[in-house]
Amino acid sequence: MIPPVVDRAWWQAHRDSVVLADVRWYLDGRSGQAAYEAGHLPGAVFVDLDRWLAAHGTPADGRHPLPSPEVFAEGMASLGIGDDDTVVAYDDGGGVTAARLVWMLRVTGHAAALLDGGLTAYDGPLETSRPPLLRSAFTPRTWPAERLASAEDALDPGNVVLDARAPERFRGETEPVDPRAGHIPGARNLPTREHLDATGRFQPVDVLRERFAAEG
């Protein structure tokens, strides 16, 4: 099984045997597809988060709940991603969006990894043309209940709840997309983008392990 994170050298060594997925999405409302069309990694397909990786949010379900397995499967199939394909996903925001696709694939038994460094991992020329898409066969699979948490789980004092958003959103000082500012009672803030070094790649494993251990 492919590891959950791969570097540029791994991707370049396996370019002919993986599907590269661009999963850019922006809190400020910018178009991820427009960013993709302006320049993407060679051969990448664009995966629309709002269309294929999330259902329409409601007050009861929150923002970006998981889509139905059938919608997810249709999205993957239409992009040429099949049951037996290996997917490497990237974005330009530290992996916070592309990791959603990686998790959705891996949790349903598919091979997928996040490209460490994302768009900045590649120093060659970007492409603006779309690759030809040949529909593939992707079987809907139920989201495994044992890998999902409920609101009750998040409020259980016996669980460590981590809020991966930026500190100012955690503190409720700003909120660009959600109807209420702040965080779940008892949650601890461990911002995802602080897992990265100055180049946009993940910090060493021992550094990350220390950060998580410090939060319980």
Nearest to 49 by CA among 9, 83, 22: 22
* Cβ 126 vs Cβ 43: under 8 Å: no
- The CATH number corresponding to 5-121 among 3.30.56.10, 3.40.50.720, 3.40.250.10, 3.40.50.620 equals 3.40.250.10
**Residues with pLDDT less than 70, the chain:** 57-61
Distances (CA, A) of 17 to 28, 69, 91, 95, 155: 34, 25, 20, 22, 43
Q: Can 5-121 and 149-214 be said to share one CATH topology?
A: yes
What is the predicted pLDDT for the residue at 59?
Answer: 66
Nearest to 165 by CA among 71, 68, 63: 63
Q: Which two tokens stand for residue 181?
A: 């500012």
| pTM score | 0.93
Alpha-carbon distance of 99 to 186, in angstroms, equals 25
Q: What is the CATH number of domain 149-214?
A: 3.40.250.10
Structural element, H or E, at residue 139: none
* Strand-pair category, 5-6 with 111-115: parallel
Evaluate the CA torsion angle 168, 62, 46, 109 in order and state its sign: positive
Q: What's the sign of the alpha-carbon dihedral 14, 17, 18, 19?
A: positive
Give me the residue spans of the domains in the chain.
5-121, 149-214
